[in-house]
Structure formats: structure tokens, C-alpha cells
């Protein structure tokens, strides 16, 4: 069993893998350009380097381990055609992402931008309109592992949580669950509308002008899923016309967000450069998922965790 | 029973008080300069306007209702000599204060200062050292209502909480309780050291160079109690020499903090202009406390809530 890593991991993590899986042959510090690609069974990658050309070269490839959550840019149909198992690391982002979402929510409620701004001027001023998170209502679009962790923390702060998914199936830490069909009716009660939706044909453009207009004019829209859940022109107009109160955006239609984009300069828009899932624990947790699936592979079991259905994209 | 309010409250709150206490005579929108001071039984004030001159003028004063938590600047001994009941609103700050403390902790962990800074430059950059709150240890000095609420929220984030008080008495939401005597031994394990101590003869100057040196060099010291718990020169030196990692200060020895103070310009110090208890719900909650004591007064009961012992100052 030959395994190629196309991103770097620490020496002690390499030794631990070799020790735990003596029957496997690891190629660490590899590149997708390496000749090894043609003979390896497994490629461990962040995903951005996989295209049809690579799939054509990788004649022995049986498993693509993607150390990332979003796979929408990958050639999923080509992967399906070749019967290659594809797994990701969904779930491992839940702690840093939920902490980032809470950090931004609390920052807005507790005047953190104003506090940082007055420190620049060195002038004591404290006529801020600080308010409380407690007693708010949050609507969470697409609550899986991440959304449920956000809900758990919000409930500790006394925030009412409404989860919204396709089927209305129950999710932990949600006071209420609705389906996409009920969304327009429920938006008027939300103080925060938080998307953690992946990019799929169903979620692309899910939110429209009509949705923004249904929100409170004080509502905060937070996008921590994928940029294409809403047309950015539509969102920009709503922010400029104060249709909603504020947006906190960690994801964009085009990343990096171009310097010329108006989002950067709107006073009611926070631009976060796709960092909400970052944490020093990322690779450590990715390897935990990888090792679990390695054991399943070696035991010839088929019950892999974090399998992606190449047809649905999640 | 004559009652003078020296701060403004909303019309509907005035009507509600008149309605609930028909036997009382309210003087709203008053000033401490008003002649009424000489005949009123109760003064409802933020506290800053009470001095010996006022006490000498207020010959009928029986109850000082302070809509604030800290009373260290009040003429407590003069108040005691005159047998004037003094009550405050401790406890009503717990929600906004705990939310502010969490906002600052999450901001530092999740790179909020860096995110705001790059937005100013309109340049996408994301090489931040974001880490997680989860798995940290917080040492909370003086856990009463506020400290316990901070502990409750921190536990939801997976933070270990150590409370430190005078007696070692147990407090909600603390994984461990220590006394001031154990403080030096325990400081080395804390990632966050959070003071919510009031200013009393016992807490003044409680923290010294020795305490700062016992902390991790990455530790974050957060002062949300009173500025005099530590000598500011000692703290400033420790920050400049990176003895500790960062300080978040909401209170200072001198407020407003002078423009010339070096705290303003240290990159490892966040200056918050004493705003952590602010919230749109402040007066609403103060009036709840006031009404409870009004009922007790009228029923000639003596079990007032939030009574200050003028000798201990809390």
C-alpha cells in the first residue's frame, strides 16, 4: 500500500504513522508532479492539486484523502467514474469555526471594533452602543457538525437557535428545526443568520434579495460556508441600502477578494480572509481522521468515515 | 417617603414606579444640587455625586441606592456614621461583563485584531496564528456573580476554570477553588488570569512583580475589576519586557486613562475604556433591584438585597 502526502507534516507525526502502519509505504513531502503519483494507492492532499490530468496519471489510485471540508472544486464525476474512494475531514473544523463565529458575534455586541479604533487614537471615549448576545435569536443554515457546535455555544449564551436544513431532520443544540421551504417565513425573527452551507447545486444562489428583505434591518448575516450561497452584488446592494444591519463574511465568490471590491470599505461589513477554520490543531486532527480510515482499509472493512458521495458533493 | 433620582430614566419606567408605589413621592430628573436633597429619604444615583457636603445637606437621608457596583470612591465611613442604608446593583453586570470578557478572549484566539487590521489595508492576507480557546486554563480572581458567569461560559468552551478567593469557599462553575495564599503556586498553569476583584484594602496591590513572573510568558492578564489590584508601572514593565503575553484592561488606576499613558501604544495591551458592564439593559435591571428593595422598605422588613457593609466596602 503506497501513500503520497502532498502537504508537509511534522517529523514526529511521520514516525507515528510509520510505526502504526508498518505494512504501508509512505512518501512524505511529496508533490503532485512526482512520478510516484503513477503508482500510489492513496493521495493525501488539501485537494486543490487534483484535476483530470492527475487522475489520468494516477493509474493505481484507490483513495483520495482530502484534508479539507469543501470539495466543490474537485473533478467529482471523474473520481466517481474511476470508483475512487473520496473522504474529507468534515467535522474537524467545528471547534475553530464555532469559536470564530462566536468571536465575531460577541465583538459586534460588545463594541470590540470601537474599542480597537479608539485605542488607535489614544483618546478615552466610551459612548458605545454595547448590547448583549443574550436573548437574541440565531438562524443557522445547514447545521451539521459545525452548525451544531455553534448552536451549543449559542445556547450557553442564552441565544435561541433555529436550524434550517433540506429535510427538517433533527440536529443537536437547535431549539427549533425548519426546512429550506420555511426559511422566508422564519427570517423575520432572526437577529443573526449564519450560513455554514457547503457549495452544492442546491445551495448555490439559495439566498436572494427576497431573503435579505425578509430579515430585520438590524440583522447580521454571517457567511462561513461558501461564497456562492448568495450573489455578492445582491448582498452588496442590501448592505449599502441598510436593508440588513451588518455582514460578516469569511468566504467569497472570488478568493482572494480583489482589492477593488466594495466589501472592504463598507462600515457595516466585516471581511474575514477565509481564516475561520484555521487553528494550530488542523493537521493533528486531520491525521486522526486519516488514521481511522487507514485502520478500516487495512481491516478490509468498508465502513469508512467522512466519505464524500461524488454525485451530491457532500 | 421622598425619593430623588439623580439620573434620567425613561417615561414608561417613571409611570411604572408611580403606579407600583403610590405612597412614595418621586423627584425624577433631579440633580444633587437641588433643594430637594435636604428633605428626601432616598437618593438613587450612580454614586459619583455623593460626598460629605451632600451628606451634610441631606438631613433626612436614610437610604442611598447606588446604581453601580463599585463604591470605593464613596465616603463610606461618613455614611456608616449616619446610619444610612447603602445598597448597590452588584450582579446586574454579570451578563454584559461575562460577554465582554469572552469577546476579548475569543478575539485574541481567533485573530480578530488582525482581521480588522487587514480590512483597513484592503489586502487579502491570512497568515495569522489563530489558535483555540478550547483546552485553555483560566484563573479567575474574585469569583462572585460575575466571575461565576464567566466560568459558566468558559466551561462551555472547554476551558478549565480555577476560582481564587479569600476563603476558598466553593463557587459555581469553577473546576477548582484556591485561596489567595495558593495563588503564586497556581499562576504557572493559567493561560488567562482574569481579575473581577472589587477595590478593598485587601485587594489593593494584591498582584505584584512576583505574580507576573509566575505566569506563563504567553499568559493573558485581564483586569475587569478595579485598576488598583496591580501597580500600573509594574504591569507596564512586564508587558514591555514580554514577561507575560498580553493584557486586556477595562479598568485603570486613573480614569480616563491619560493620552500620554504607554498602555495605549503597546502592541500587547488592549485598552478598553471601562465599558465592559455597559448594555442597553443597565437601567432596566437597576430598577428591578431598586423595586425589590422598595417593597422590602415599605413592608418594614429589614432583609434588603445588595446591601453594602460600609466598613468592608462590599
Task: Provide ipTM, 2 decimals.
Answer: 0.87
Distance from the Cα of A268 to chain B's closest Cα (Å) equals 12
- Name the residue facing A119 among B100, B271, B280 (closest C-beta): B271
CATH architecture of B94-271: 3-Layer(aba) Sandwich (3.40)
The pLDDT of residue A314: 78
Asked whether A164 and A139 are in contact (CB, 8 A), the reply is yes
Q: Which of residues 221-280 of B touch A (CB under 8 A)?
A: 255-257, 259, 264-265, 270-276, 278-280
Asked whether B42 and B62 are in contact (CB, 8 A), the reply is yes
Each of the 314 residues of chain B gets a pLDDT tens digit; together they read 999 999 999 999 999 999 999 999 999 999 999 999 999 999 999 999 999 999 999 999 999 999 987 788 899 999 999 999 999 998 899 999 999 999 999 999 999 999 999 999 999 999 999 999 999 999 999 989 999 999 999 999 999 999 999 999 999 999 999 999 999 999 999 999 999 998 899 999 999 999 999 999 999 999 999 999 999 999 999 999 999 999 999 999 999 999 999 999 999 999 999 999 999 898 999 999 999 999 999 999 889 999 999 888 77
Grid coordinates representing A43? 493521495
The pLDDT of residue A310: 84
Grid coordinates representing B276? 465592559
Domain ranges of chain A: 2-92+280-298, 94-271
Q: Summarize pLDDT for A176-201 with one digit per residue, the tens.
A: 999 999 999 999 999 999 999 999 99
Domain A2-92+280-298 identical in fold to domain A94-271: yes
Distance from the Cα of A110 to chain B's closest Cα (Å) equals 6
Choose the mutation target among A272, A277, A283 for the interface with B, i.e. most B CBs under 10 Å: A272
Confidence of residue A218 (pLDDT cuts 50, 70, 90): very high
The class of domain B2-92+280-298 in CATH terms is: alpha beta
Residue A269 has pLDDT above 80, yes or no: yes
Asked whether B219 and B190 are in contact (CB, 8 A), the reply is yes
Asked whether B2 and B60 are in contact (CB, 8 A), the reply is yes
Q: Summarize pLDDT for A4-22 with one digit per residue, the tens.
A: 999 999 999 999 999 999 9
Residues A80, A83, A85, A90, Cα dihedral to 10°: 10
What mean pLDDT is predicted for residues A271-293? 94
Asked whether B190 and B211 are in contact (CB, 8 A), the reply is no
The pLDDT of residue A280: 87
Asked whether A23 and A298 are in contact (CB, 8 A), the reply is yes
Asked whether A91 and A306 are in contact (CB, 8 A), the reply is yes
User: Global pTM?
Assistant: 0.87
Q: How far is CA A124 from CA A47, A116, B4, B85, B225, in A?
A: 48, 11, 31, 34, 18
Residue A82 has pLDDT above 90, yes or no: yes
Amino acid at each position: 500500500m503506497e501513500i503520497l502526502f502532498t502537504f508537509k507534516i511534522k517529523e514526529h507525526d511521520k514516525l507515528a504513522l510509520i510505526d502504526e502502519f508498518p505494512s504501508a509505504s509512505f512518501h512524505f513531502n511529496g508533490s503532485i508532479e512526482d512520478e510516484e503519483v503513477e503508482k500510489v494507492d492513496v493521495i493525501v492532499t488539501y485537494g486543490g492539486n487534483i484535476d483530470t490530468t492527475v487522475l489520468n496519471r494516477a493509474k493505481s489510485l484507490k483513495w483520495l484523502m482530502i484534508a479539507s471540508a469543501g470539495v466543490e472544486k474537485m473533478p467529482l464525476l471523474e473520481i466517481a467514474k474511476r470508483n475512487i474512494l473520496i473522504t474529507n475531514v468534515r467535522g474537524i473544523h467545528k471547534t475553530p469555526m464555532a469559536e470564530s463565529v462566536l468571536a465575531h458575534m460577541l465583538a459586534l455586541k460588545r463594541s470590540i471594533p470601537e474599542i480597537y479604533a479608539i485605542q488607535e487614537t489614544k483618546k478615552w471615549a466610551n459612548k458605545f452602543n454595547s448590547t448583549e448576545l443574550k436573548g437574541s435569536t440565531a438562524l443557522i443554515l445547514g447545521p451539521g457538525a459545525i452548525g451544531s457546535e455553534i448552536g451549543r455555544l449559542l445556547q450557553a449564551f442564552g441565544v435561541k437557535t433555529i436550524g434550517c436544513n433540506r429535510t427538517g431532520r433533527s440536529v443537536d443544540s437547535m431549539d427549533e428545526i425548519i426546512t429550506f421551504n420555511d426559511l422566508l417565513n422564519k427570517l423575520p425573527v432572526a437577529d443573526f443568520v449564519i450560513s455554514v452551507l457547503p457549495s452544492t447545486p442546491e445551495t448555490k444562489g439559495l439566498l436572494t434579495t427576497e431573503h435579505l428583505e425578509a430579515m430585520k434591518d438590524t440583522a447580521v448575516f454571517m457567511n462561513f460556508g461558501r461564497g456562492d450561497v448568495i450573489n455578492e452584488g445582491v448582498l452588496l446592494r442590501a448592505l449599502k441600502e441598510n436593508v440588513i444591519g451588518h455582514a460578516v463574511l469569511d468566504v467569497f465568490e472570488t478568493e482572494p477578494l480583489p482589492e477593488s471590491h466594495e466589501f472592504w470599505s463598507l462600515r457595516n461589513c466585516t471581511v474575514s480572509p477565509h481564516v475561520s477554520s484555521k487553528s494550530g490543531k488542523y493537521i493533528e486532527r486531520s491525521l486522526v481522521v486519516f488514521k481511522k480510515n487507514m485502520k478500516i482499509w487495512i481491516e478490509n472493512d468498508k465502513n469508512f468515515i467522512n466519505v464524500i458521495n461524488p454525485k451530491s458533493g457532500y
